Chains A and B, each alone.
Chain A
Amino acid sequence: DAGVIQSPRHEVTEMGQEVTLRCKPISGHNSLFWYRQTMMRGLELLIYFNNNVPIDDSGMPEDRFSAKMPNASFSTLKIQPSEPRDSAVYFCASSLPRTALYGYTFGSGTRLTVV
């Protein structure tokens, strides 16, 4: 199994531009999570999908952020327009149905720099 695949690995963009981050979860995992990691705030849960449906998006910082999961094998996190304070590493993780027993499998992350 290739694990959770994220793309791109690095993204540098100018303030105001749209950024799209992509994630392919492990096949058979029905839960998908987007986290943001910064020095100041650590790992923050942004949004959580179960069976492709957004369940909890209370962590999404503002309306500039949106996430979709059109099918079981693909999810996107979009920032429009991007701002320098969005610079962070964005991790996608997926899980089997029983999160408590299995924990999550994380992707390698996308390092986003907004200049």
Chain B
Amino acid sequence: AQSVSQHNHHVILSEAASLELGCNYSYGGTVNLFWYVQYPGQHLQLLLKYFSGDPLVKGIKGFEAEFIKSKFSFNLRKPSVQWSDTAEYFCAVRDPTRGGSQGNLIFGKGTKLSVKP
């Protein structure tokens, strides 16, 4: 079955610093990848997704992610973070072995981002 690793548990940055959050998945076939964000006390919201085409995906709020197939990675980046980016970030991958042809999303354990003003 597919699995997702997010190696950073908690990242602390100052405003305007650049951000890169790591995400690695295990399945070697066709993958669909997602990043979700959870602001304090709120539900998960989709930031961006990759399913084919250009491996550099742009999402909302200035976030982007790069799919590198050879590294089984889908790292999230933002050139300059703001205090309002303080949240927990979850990487997810569709697992085609669960839930039939649609597959199900398997989530990483999340990375907490704290941005100091």
Asked if B67 is at the interface of the complex by the 8 Å CB criterion, the answer is no
Is the interface on chain B under 10, 10 to 19, 20 to 34, or 35 or more residues? 20 to 34
Asked if A108 is at the interface of the complex by the 8 Å CB criterion, the answer is yes
Nearest B residue to A43 via CB reads B107
Compute how far the CA of A95 lies from the CA of B34 in the bound complex, rounded to whole angstroms. Answer: 14
* Chain A interface, DSSP helix/strand/loop, else mixed: strand
Asked if B70 is at the interface of the complex by the 8 Å CB criterion, the answer is no
- Chain A hits for B43, CB < 8 A: 91, 106-109
Cross-chain contact of A50 among B42, B51, B99 (Cβ < 8 A)? B99
Cross-chain contact of A100 among B42, B44, B90, B103 (Cβ < 8 A)? B103
The reply to whether A42 and B104 form a contact with Cβ atoms under 8 Å apart is no
Asked if A75 is at the interface of the complex by the 8 Å CB criterion, the answer is no
The reply to whether A56 and B98 form a contact with Cβ atoms under 8 Å apart is yes
Cross-chain contact of B45 among A41, A58, A106 (Cβ < 8 A)? A106
Contact status of A97 and B102, CB under 8 A, knowing A42-B109, A42-B110, A103-B34: yes
Q: How far is the CB of A8 from chain B (nearest CB, A)?
A: 15
The reply to whether A103 and B99 form a contact with Cβ atoms under 8 Å apart is no
The reply to whether B105 and A103 form a contact with Cβ atoms under 8 Å apart is yes
Compute how far the CA of A109 lies from the CA of B88 in the bound complex, rounded to whole angstroms. Answer: 15
Write the B28-70 contact mask toward A (1 if CB under 8 angstroms, else 0): 0000101010000011111001010000000000000000000
Contact status of A42 and B46, CB under 8 A, knowing A56-B98, A58-B98, A100-B103: no
Q: Please provide the chain A residues from 1 to 54 with a CB less than 8 Å away from any CB of chain B in the complex.
A: 31, 33, 35, 41-43, 45, 48, 50
Sort A-B residue pairs by CB-CB distance and give the 10 closest, nearest first: A42-B109, A43-B107, A100-B32, A106-B43, A106-B44, A99-B102, A108-B43, A103-B46, A56-B99, A48-B99
Residues of chain A whose beta carbon lies under 8 Å from any beta carbon of chain B:
31, 33, 35, 41-43, 45, 48, 50, 55-56, 58, 91, 93, 95, 97-101, 103-109
